[in-house]
Chains A and B, each alone.
Chain A
Amino acid sequence: LAPWIPVVGLEIHAQISSNSKLFSGSQVQFAAPPNSLVSFFDASLPGTLPVLNRRCVEAAVMTGLALNCSINKKSLFDRKHYFYADLPAGYQITQQRVPIAVNGSLSYILCIDNKMSQMVTKTVRIKQIQLEQDSGKSLHDDTRSQTLVDLNRAGVGLMEVVMEPDMCCGEEAAAAVRELQLILQTLGSSQAVMAEGQLRVDANVSVHHPGEPYGVRTEVKNINSLRFLAKAVDYEIQRQIEELENGGTVLNETRAFDSKLGCTVPMRDKEGKQDYRFMPEPNLPPLILYDAKSLPANMNHQQVINIDWIHERLPDLPSVKREKLVEQYGILPEHSFALLNEDGLAEFFESVVKQTRMKPKKVIGWILNNLLSYLKQHSLTVKESPVSSFLLADLLNLLEKKEISSTAARQVLAELWKGEGKTPLEIVKEQKLELLQDQKELEEICQAVIDGQENE
């Protein structure tokens, strides 16, 4: 049987982290009372006009720069028309002709066979990033045959990041999205929390034989976590292969991932091809961005965005941070990868290192093996850790000074998790875990044990 080459591309919608929406002044906030964050423009009241939010543009420029894109100094806005209850104007304002950023790349790390020690760097091309409006939410109440519409989310700014079909499986897709998530969170351009709908991923999947053209692709939607992303993609690849090997065909359709059943199913809504009747958005002039060279002398600073200025102020991206951690602390690449993979963990580690004499190479074990596994077991974030970096450093100092053994240290740590406010030293004293340093005392104890044995 000829081998199959799976091809996976992604369309990722990241909600921009901003105070107000992309084209109106209403607030952006998660889980507010329904229809409490809706401006006249969001509700599409006749006669209202869009006004571009500067912060959203900056977020998109930052993201574009971080993903090695060319930032288009002139980009355009378009209307994409379709009728749906959560789209009040009957069209979405997006960037179809000329988006804000194009032709970038994202490097991400793949762990071969789940072994942290074998890490491979892969790259996926970024086709483009475009600014567009989010839609509202509709809740279908089938029992009462009604649809409830909440427009709080309507008009919130989105960055759509399009990743070229350079990936080959669910694991790669998930790893790429994970890295994108970390980048967005580092930049602050999106909080990118999938569970809160701030990061939505649609996967485009197809399979073909080597040397042949790409197969028909399906679009998979309704993926709510990285884990489900990997599952959905792998399932769809398998489904297509089976379909084709059994003499069937793959339809160019949209499918939804059913997380309970672990499979993809055709979506009823998307029947037939939609013609979105794209048209330029006449109420928004072209978006013009400047750099240091092109910036006009007497421009109002409030009215312009300088790409170079933003570039200079970009924070260290995760990949750079990882390298720095390895260099600075002599830890392994897989250690720094794990540190950055958990929100706040790298900062915790660095804080502990500062407060203890123990070598970072040894501290890392305590962080990754003891602290992290405890947090995972109890579903806590680093921020919620009952053991602060101060306490852990304190404990590690005792260990470093050889006042306790490592076994004893683990015992103390277990006690510290209870969060009763005791210091490591107090616990050591309570449980009599001190290492005996006195030679004479040790001899006496040993002698007592031997004597005890002889008596039996």
Chain B
Amino acid sequence: AALKDGLRSQVAAALKEGRVTPTELCQRCLALIKSTKFLNAYITVAEETALKQAEESEERHKRGQPLGVLDGIPVAVKDNFNTAGIETTCASNMLRGYISPYNATVVQKLLDQGAVLLGKTNLDEFAMGSGSTDGVFGPVRNPWSYSRQYKEKSVPKSHSEDKESNWVITGGSSGGSAAAVSSFTCFAALGSDTGGSTRNPAAHCGVVGLKPTYGLISRHGLIPLVNSMDVPGILTRCVDDAAVVLGSLAGHDPKDSTTIQEHFKPFELPNLTDVSKLSIGIPKEYHAPGLSSEILALWSKAADLFQNAGAKVVEVSLPHTRYSIVCYHVLCTAEVASNMARFDGLEYGHRSDMKESTESMYAATRREGFNDVVRGRILSGNYFLLKQNYEKYFVKAQKVRRLIADDFVKVFRSGVDILLTPTTLSDAVPYMEFIQEDNRTRSAQDDVLTQAANMAGLPAINVPTALSERGLPVGLQFIGRSFQEKQLLTVAKWFEKQVQFPMIQLEVVKRHDNGVFQHQKSASFS
């Protein structure tokens, strides 16, 4: 079986039929992780426990009793999800060495389905950032930097220039998870999405990135950034896989009071052939300043694709889009300031050696434990929450948030089913270029297209669409109605089939194929 294959088409069947064993699959993924270590996608590789889980899965398969379609499937989880017995760091010195005593609900669900947890992936510290470059374990490298497609297109500036120095970023903050899926080290990975942190790296790494509706998937055990916007995100190589993972994770969790009560029914995605009843909205405000002409053209082409296939494609307006970045900044920093208050060095995590007084210990611990990005947001957030500022900033931002959410309600009420927008302003930039600007500037720029969906709590998905002139992935985003993931994914799946996004050609992956790979397959499955 090919590592590249989707869950349902080959691997799950292969496991069931015994053509490949969970242990083999696990070993192969672990070996590939080792060979792709230069990507820095993983912070912790849980080799022993993964192999043990694989063995247990093997037992079940031998008995003919697999737990489900995820049994034996290697997965990875972003390092801001609690995993019992496995270090959870949030890529921060504050939690270096922190071993949580409990599993996040989504982690537990994956394990209960028999998935094999390979390890914890890299991110921006505490999920703050859009590059996966600001964690204490260093930046994540986009696997496409090493693809034949990118290398063919990149012109070396001089012979002596290090080939390695023009590697591109993954985007963020779930860059490690996106890179892990993109480089075939796992079949699915969990990320988190607060302002675009799953969709952004998905677009840059050429994978599917799903942000579910707020309240559909439990946040219990996800170390929060902004409680009122965070969702667990799903990264896979095809839309069908995302639907499968969604099915195993969604539903009410009594431990998370913000999950919906209604019973969730996992669904199979129909193979949509007729889009004539569909109405696709193109929000004009998403033609944002800085949008590359390449992506603009691709977006337009996609709209034409739907129209030519018989769908109704209309321009719509979400007039408050331009306020969302500023609004997000206020609300995000306020919640960050609050959520980070618990890191005082007393109960867990880093504690400074400073012993003069409790106060000085707190101050030193937090200065040592947090990077500048985190500390900057805490300071801003505390400022906005001061009594004299609360009305002007926090309450005002909440009101603007309501307006932003209402924009979407109005548009969906007017008959539009799905919105089609770009996911990012451009393809992935080289790391050296990315770090020229600070985190705050970058985040403000890069979140523009993704962040309103978090404000409104809506489901959204990045679907890899085409390669840029530089040979790097570009994705497009679909935004759906609240809790209408089935419709959203159905449309996304149709689109995925139309565009036939090319498979990444990675030398290192070929080496691990051991000739068991079939000929190159595209990412679409019929």
A9 to chain B, nearest CB (A): 22
Tell me the complex Cα distance, A89–B338, Å: 9
Contact count A vs B, C-beta below 8 Å: 99
Cβ-neighbour of B347 out of A45, A50, A83, A279 (below 8 A): A45
Indicate whether A282 sits within 8 Å of B335 (C-beta atoms), given known contacts A49-B220, A149-B346: yes
Contact check, B222 vs A47: say whether CB atoms are below 8 A apart. yes
User: Contacting A50 at CB < 8 Å: which of B81, B228, B257?
Assistant: B257
Give A145 to B355 CA distance when docked, in angstroms. 9
B residues 194-223 in Cβ contact with A at 8 Å:
219-223
Whether B341 pairs with A46 at a CB distance below 8 angstroms is: no
When the two chains form their complex, are residues A85 and B358 in contact, meaning their CB atoms are under 8 A apart? yes
Q: Tell me which residues across on chain B come within 8 A of A81, comparing CB atoms.
A: 338, 341, 385
Q: Are A277 and B358 in contact (CB under 8 A)?
A: no
Assess the A83–B341 pair: CB atoms within 8 A: yes
Are B386 and A275 interface neighbours, CB within 8 A?
yes
Report yes or no: A279 in contact with B341, Cβ–Cβ below 8 A. no
Taking A40-B102, A45-B347, A46-B223 as contacts, is the C-beta distance between A283 and B258 under 8 angstroms? yes
Chain A residues with Cβ below 8 Å from B258 are 49, 282-283, 285
Interface centre among B82, B337, B341, B390 (most CB of A within 10 A): B341
In the assembled complex, A194 has its CB within 8 A of some CB on chain B:
no
Interface contact B342-A44, CB-CB below 8 Å: yes
Complex CA gap A160/B164 in Å reads 62
State which size class the interface on A falls in.
Answer: 20 to 34
Q: In whole Å, how far is A148's beta carbon from the nearest beta carbon of chain B?
A: 11
Which residues from B are CB-within-8-Å of A145? 355
Residues of chain B from 367 to 390 with CB closer than 8 A to chain A in the complex: 382, 385-387, 390
Task: Judge whether A91 is part of the interface by a CB distance below 8 angstroms.
Answer: yes
Q: Which residue of A has the minimal Cβ distance to B256?
A: A49
Q: Which residue of B lies closest to A138 (CB)?
A: B358
Are A90 and B344 touching (Cβ within 8 A)? yes
Q: Are A282 and B342 in contact (CB under 8 A)?
A: no
Is there contact, CB below 8 Å, between A88 and B342? yes
Docked Cα-Cα span, A285 to B259, in Å, equals 10
Q: B335-365 CB contact bits vs A (8 Å, 1 = yes)?
A: 1011011111011100000010011001000
Q: At the interface, yes or no: B394 with Cβ under 8 Å from chain A?
A: yes
CB distance from A26 to the nearest CB of B (A): 14
Assess whether A390 is interfacial by the CB under 8 Å rule.
Answer: no
- What is the predominant secondary structure among interface residues of chain A facing chain B? loop
Please tell me if the beta carbons of B261 and A51 are within 8 angstroms of each other in the complex.
Answer: no
Question: Does B254 have its Cβ within 8 Å of any Cβ on chain A?
Answer: yes
With A44-B347, A279-B394 already in contact, the answer to whether A90 and B257 are too (CB < 8 A) is no
The verdict on A47 contacting B341 (CB below 8 Å), with A83-B359, A279-B394, A285-B258 known, is no
Given contacts A46-B82, A48-B220, A285-B258, is CB(A279)–CB(B342) below 8 Å?
no
- In the complex, what residue of chain A is closest to B82 when comparing beta carbons? A47
Question: Could you say which residues of chain A place their CB within 8 Å of the CB of B382?
Answer: 277
Q: Does B45 contact A (CB under 8 A)?
A: no
Q: Which residue of B lies closest to A46 (CB)?
A: B223
Whether, in the assembled complex, A437 has its beta carbon less than 8 Å from a beta carbon of chain B, the answer is no
Which A residues lie within 8 Å of B359 (CB)? 83
B257 cross-chain contacts in A, Cβ below 8 A:
49-52, 283-285
Interface centre among A46, A79, A83, A89 (most CB of B within 10 A): A46
Considering only residues 301-347 of chain B, those with a C-beta below 8 Å from chain A are: 334-335, 337-338, 340-344, 346-347
B419 interface hit (Cβ, 8 Å) = no
**B residues within 8 A CB of A49?**
219-220, 255-258
Q: Does B289 lie at the interface of the complex (its beta carbon under 8 Å from any beta carbon of A)? A: no
**Contact A47 B221, CB 8 Å, known A279-B338, A282-B335, A284-B257:** yes
Check if A275 sits within 8 Å of B387, measured CB to CB: yes
1/0 per residue, CB under 8 A from B, across A71-92: the answer is 0000000010101010011110
- Whether B342 and A89, one on each chain, are in contact in the complex, defined by CB atoms closer than 8 angstroms, is yes
Q: A278 on the interface (CB 8 Å rule)? A: yes
- Give the shortest distance, in Å, between B227 (CB) and chain A (any CB): 4
- A47 and B394 CA atoms in complex are apart in Å by 23
- Name which of A88, A90, A91 has the most chain B CB atoms within 10 A of its CB: A90
Say if the beta carbon of B1 comes within 8 Å of chain A.
no
Q: How far is the CB of B342 from chain A (nearest CB, A)?
A: 4
Cα–Cα distance between A88 and B348 once the two chains are bound (Å) = 10
Residue of A nearest to B95 (CB): A46
Asked whether B411 is an interface residue with its Cβ less than 8 Å from the other chain, the reply is no
Determine how close the nearest CB of chain B comes to the CB of A276; give it in whole angstroms: 8
Q: Would you call B224 an interface residue if the criterion is a C-beta within 8 Å of the partner chain's C-beta atoms?
A: yes
Q: How far is the CA of A441 from the CA of B187 in the complex (A)?
A: 110
Q: Tell yes or no: B290 within 8 A of A by CB.
A: no
CA of A46 to CA of B343, assembled, Å: 9
A43 touches B219 (CB 8 A): no
A298 at the interface (CB under 8 A from B): no
B341 adjacent to A45 (CB under 8 Å): no
Name the residue in A81, A91, A147, A279 with the highest tally of chain B Cβ atoms < 10 Å from its Cβ.
A279
For A40, give its contact among B101, B227, B256, B343 (CB under 8 Å).
B101
Residue B46, interface by CB 8 Å:
no
Structural contact, A47 and B344, CB atoms closer than 8 A: no
Interface centre among B219, B221, B334, B342 (most CB of A within 10 A): B342
Interchain CA distance A253-B6 in the complex, whole Å: 67
Shortest CB–CB separation between residue B225 and chain A, in angstroms? 11
Pairs A–B under 8 Å by Cβ, sample size 12: A46-B95, A46-B223, A46-B343, A49-B255, A49-B257, A81-B341, A85-B358, A90-B341, A277-B382, A279-B334, A279-B335, A282-B258
6 closest Cβ pairs, A-B complex: A90-B341, A277-B385, A282-B227, A282-B228, A44-B342, A46-B223
Interface contacts beyond A47-B222, A91-B341, A283-B227: sample of 11 additional A-B pairs, CB < 8 Å, sorted by A: A45-B102, A46-B95, A47-B100, A51-B255, A81-B338, A85-B358, A89-B342, A277-B338, A279-B335, A285-B257, A303-B261
Binding site for A on B (CB under 8 A): 81-82, 88, 90, 95, 100-102, 104, 219-224, 226-228, 254-258, 261, 334-335, 337-338, 340-344, 346-348, 355, 358-359, 362, 382, 385-387, 390, 394
